[in-house]
Amino acid sequence: MGWIFWIVIGAIAGFLAEKIMKADMGLLMNIGLGIVGALVGGFLINSLLGFGDGEGLIESIVVATIGAVLVLWVVNKVRERTAA
């Protein structure tokens, strides 16, 4: 699948993660977060559970969203520590 597909998946995953975590971020941050989340989610699903080839649209969105939620959680924790 092409890079435009992954940008769209990243935007969707970032948006969903933003809503799940009740964060307030912009479109570019959503795309970046979703792309990083797709990488993190894909790595975790593939290495820990041994499946997840990322071929299906829904599977890709779910995996990317899980990864984006994890990345957003880590970012929030780092921000809390630096603010304190």
Enumerate the domain spans of the chain: 3-83
Each residue's pLDDT tens digit, 72-83: 999 888 988 888
At 35 the pLDDT is: 86
Backbone angles phi, psi at 51, to 5 degrees: -145, 175
Tokens of 66: 């899980």
Give helix 27-44 / helix 3-21 axis angle, nearest 10°.
100
Give this prediction's pTM: 0.82
Contacts of 4 by beta carbon, 8 Å cutoff, 6+ apart: none
Contact 13, 64 (CB under 8 A): yes
Per-residue pLDDT of the chain (84 residues; tens, 9 = 90+): 677 887 888 889 989 999 998 888 787 887 888 888 888 888 888 788 776 565 688 888 888 899 999 999 998 889 888 886
